[in-house]
């Protein structure tokens, strides 16, 4: 099995949240108690039982409203800082599947709160979450149980518009680059995020920051960078992406 990659084309995302719900369904993750907070984004953030979250961002550009949607999930890094951090802390709950490249957590292994915090903070995308009740950590599994059986991840299977795509890495990068080329003509700021070293490649048509704080690693995120520096030797992988 070749290395797998998600291609997430936000220009096609209508925020129907089929992916968010399908993720919960396949992973049998319960709903969390939410309230209306003055936003359609709910739950408010990722959690131990929410691996996929469509983030809503509304803003005005030249007096016209824009509403950007960002189906947030684990990027399945080729060199996952979370795993390196965990290993440095002597944990074995994070593994990388060699065939697919999926970064997979064992949520049943208990992690101390401060270690969980360090692991989470080492993630440039702020993805992994710790559960107070079980003391375990969890995040997107790439639906590895489905993928191994030749099926698409649940979020991709359910997406009606073609925003969520999944397949062999080369094919996905090809699709991403072709789409980028098409969109560049209309949106000069169109860009691919995380295309080189990650297995969830996003396409956005505007500044990544307008979608989500952690859409792209920020220079000013010094604590995170420091954390990464401390943990990773492959820092070269990340610096070119900064900003």
Partner 1 sequence: MTNHYIDFRNADVIINMGGNVAENHPVSFKWIQDARNKGATFIHVDPRFTRTSSKADIFARLRSGTDIAFIGGMIKYILDNELYDEFYVKNYTNATFIVNDQYGFDDGLFAGYDPTKRSYDKAKWSFVKDEKGIPKRDMSLKDDRCVLQILKKHYSRYTMEKVVTITGTPQEDLEKVYKAYSATGVPDKAGTILYAMGWTQHTVGTQNIRSMSIVQLLLGNMGIAGGGVNALRGESNVQGSTDHALLFHIIPAYLPTPRAKLQTLADYNATTPKTDDPRSANWWQNRPKYIASLLKSMFGDKAMKDNDFGYSWLPKLEDTQNASWLVLFDEMYKGKFTGFFAWGMNPACSGANAGKVREALTKLDWMVNVNVFDSETGSFWQGPGMDPKKIKTEVFQLPCAAFLEKEGSISNSGRWSQWRWKATNPPGDATPDSEIMYELMKKVKALYKKEKGAFPDPILNLKWDYETKGKFDIHTVAKEINGYDLTTGKLVANFTKLKDDGTTSCGNWLYSGSYTEDGNMAARRKKDDPTGLGLFPQWAWCWPVNRRIIYNRASVDLDGKPRNPAKAVIKWDAEAKKWIGDVPDGGWPPMGTEGFYPFIMKPDGVASIFGPGLADGPFPEHYEPLECPIEKNIMSNQRINPVVKILEGGPDTFATCDPKYPFVCTTYRVTEHWQTGVLTRWLPWLVEAEPQMFCEISQELAKLRGIENGAKVLVETSRGKVEATAIVTLRLKPFVIAGQTVHLIGLPYHFGWLHPKDGGDSANLLTPTVGDPNTMIPESKAFMANVTKITAQKAGKA
Cβ(82)–Cβ(119) below 8 Å: yes
Told to check if 184 binds partner 1 by CB under 8 A, we report no
Told to check if 167 binds partner 1 by CB under 8 A, we report no
Say how many C-beta atoms besides its own lie within 10 A of residue 119's C-beta. 27
Cβ(191)–Cβ(37) below 8 Å: no
Told to check if 210 binds partner 1 by CB under 8 A, we report no
- Residue selected from 15, 195, 203, 204 as contacting partner 1 according to rule CB under 8 A: 15
- Residue selected from 4, 6, 19, 24 as contacting partner 1 according to rule CB under 8 A: 24
Beta bridge partners, 60, equal 65
In whole angstroms, give the CA distance from residue 160 to residue 197: 27
In whole angstroms, give the CA distance from residue 193 to residue 218: 12
Distance of closest approach, residue 16 Cβ to partner 1, in angstroms: 4
Told to check if 161 binds partner 1 by CB under 8 A, we report yes
Q: Give 64 or 219: the residue with its C-beta nearer to partner 1.
A: 64
Helices (H) and strands (E) in the chain, counts: 7, 10
The single-letter DSSP state of residue 152 is P
- Residue selected from 1, 2, 14, 207 as contacting partner 1 according to rule CB under 8 A: 14
Cβ(180)–Cβ(14) below 8 Å: no
Query: Where does this chain touch partner 1 (CB under 8 A) — which range of 65-73, 166-174, 190-198, 230-238?
Result: 65-73
Query: Where does this chain touch partner 1 (CB under 8 A) — which range of 13-21, 102-110, 192-200, 203-211?
Result: 13-21
- Residue selected from 2, 67, 113, 226 as contacting partner 1 according to rule CB under 8 A: 67
Total interface residues for partner 1 by CB under 8 A: 35
């Amino acid at each position: 099995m070749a290395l797998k990659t998600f291609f997430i084309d936000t220009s096609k995302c209508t925020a129907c949240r089929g992916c968010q719900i399908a993720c919960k369904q396949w992973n049998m993750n319960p709903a969390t108690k939410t309230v209306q907070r003055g936003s359609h984004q709910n739950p408010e953030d990722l959690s131990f039982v929410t691996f996929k979250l469509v983030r809503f961002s509304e803003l005005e550009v030249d007096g016209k409203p824009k509403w950007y949607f960002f189906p947030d999930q684990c990027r399945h890094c080729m060199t996952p800082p979370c795993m390196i951090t965990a290993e440095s802390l002597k944990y074995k709950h994070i593994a990388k599947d060699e065939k697919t490249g999926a970064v997979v957590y064992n949520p049943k292994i208990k992690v101390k709160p401060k270690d969980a915090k360090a692991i989470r903070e080492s993630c440039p995308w702020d993805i992994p979450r710790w559960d107070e009740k079980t003391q375990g950590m969890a995040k997107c599994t790439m639906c590895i149980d489905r993928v191994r059986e030749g099926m698409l991840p649940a979020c991709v299977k359910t997406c009606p518009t073609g925003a969520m795509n999944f397949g062999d890495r080369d094919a996905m990068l090809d699709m991403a680059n072709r789409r980028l080329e098409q969109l560049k003509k209309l949106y000069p700021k169109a860009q691919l995020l995380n295309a080189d070293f990650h297995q969830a490649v996003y396409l956005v048509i505007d500044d990544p920051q307008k979608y989500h704080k952690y859409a792209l690693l920020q220079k000013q995120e010094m604590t995170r960078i420091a954390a990464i520096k401390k943990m990773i030797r492959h820092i070269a992988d990340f610096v070119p992406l900064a900003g």
